[in-house]
Copies of this chain bind each other. A is one copy, B any other.
Amino acid sequence: MGKTELFIGVDIGGTNTEVGFVDISGKMVHCTSFSTSAQEVASQFVNRLGNVIHEGVGHLEERYVCKGVGIAAPNANNFHGTIECPVNLGWGTVNLVELLGERVTVPIRVINDANAAALGEMEFGAAKGMRNFVVITLGTGLGSGIVIHGEILNGAHGLAGELGHTMVVAGGRDCGCGKTGCLETYVSANGIRRTALVLMGRKFYKSELTKVSFAEMTAKAISDAALAGDQLALDVLEQTGKVLGRKLADVVAFCDPEAFVIMGGVANAGELLLEPTRRYCIGNLLPAHKGRVCILQSKMKPGEPAVLGAAMLMKKK
C-alpha cells in the first residue's frame, strides 16, 4: 500500500515551539513542543528543531512520507526564507530555510505567523470557504493575516499585514516599533494593561485591579475580573473594543472582507471584547458595507491555526 503524504508545521513562539505532523485532511497525526530558548543562538534552536523533526518522521515513516516543513514565525519573510529581527527572539536576521536545510532534505518554507494562522483558518477553521478575510491575533502584540481573492496578501516585499502598526491616535502611546499611537499599543495584552492604568488614573473605581502594580498586571487578570463583573475591567474591554472596532471598519472600507477571525490570548475574553468590537465596527461602516461582514472568534485550539497553516503551505507546492 502507498504511504500517505505528511506535512510538518512549525510555530516558533517567544517561549515554546510547536511542531505538528499533519496529513492532507488536516488531521494532526502527531504533535510535540519544545522550549524555543530564544536567548541561545539560532543554530542551536535549529539543531533541536531538526532532532524533533527526525524523531517524529522516524515514528511515522512506516505509514507516512514527509513532503515538506512549513515554519511560522514572527517577522518571517516568505520571499527570502528569513526571519528578520523579531522582538521576542534574539537571533537578529536568520535564514531558516538555509539553516534547517542542512538538517532535512525535504522542501522548507517560512511564513509570518499571522499569515500561517490565516491559512489554517481558511483550510480548516472559521474562514473555511472564504476568499476575503482578515485574521487578527491578539497576543503580546497585534498581528494580522490578510487573505485577498483567496491568497495571502504578501505585498511587494513580503512585508504586508502590519495592521498593529497603523495609527489610532496621532502622537499617542509609545510603541515598541519606535512610532507612537499604533493600534497594538491599545489593542493587545500590553495595550489592555495600559488602558487599565489610564482609566484608573482618570476615574474612581472600586476594583481589585487597583491593588495590582502595572508590572504585575496581566491581560488575563483583566479578563477574569471582567468576567466576574469588575467595572474597571469591563470599561477596559469596552474601550479596547471601541478602538479595535473602528479600525476594523477602516479595514472593511479599504479591502471589503467577508469576515474577521479574532484569536489569541486576549480574545479569550470572548463576547466581553467581541460585542463592543462589533458594535463600533458596524457603527463606523459605510452604508453599502453594513450587513456584509462578520466578526468571528476562532474555534481552534491556541496555536493550532498557525501550525496547520504552516503545514498546509507545503501542500501548495
Footprint of B on A, CB under 8 Å?
84, 130-132, 144, 146, 148-149, 151, 153-163, 165-167, 170, 177-179, 246, 249-251, 253-258, 284, 286-289, 292-293
Given A179-B284, A179-B286, A288-B84: A256 in contact with B166 (beta carbons within 8 A) = no
Q: Residues of B contacting A155 with CB < 8 Å?
A: 132, 148, 255-257
Give the docked Cα–Cα distance between A160 and B154 (Å): 18
Q: Which residues of B contact A148 (CB under 8 A)?
A: 148-149, 153, 155
Q: A146-B254, A161-B256, A170-B246 are in contact. List 18 more A-B contacts (CB 8 A).
A: A130-B156, A144-B254, A148-B149, A148-B153, A148-B155, A155-B255, A157-B292, A159-B256, A159-B288, A162-B254, A162-B286, A163-B253, A166-B254, A167-B249, A167-B250, A177-B286, A177-B287, A254-B254
Contact present for A254 and B292 (CB under 8 Å)? no
Instruction: List, sorted by A's number, 12 A–B pairs whose CB atoms are closer than 8 Å.
Output: A148-B148, A148-B149, A149-B151, A155-B257, A156-B293, A158-B256, A161-B256, A162-B253, A165-B253, A166-B254, A251-B254, A254-B254
Taken together as a complex, chains A and B put the C-alpha atoms of A250 and B249 apart, in Å, by: 14
Distance of A81 from chain B, by nearest CB (Å): 16
Please tell me if the beta carbons of B284 and A167 are within 8 angstroms of each other in the complex.
yes
Min CB distance A234 to B, Å, is: 21
- CB–CB A153/B84 < 8 A: no
A156 with B131: CB separation less than 8 A? yes
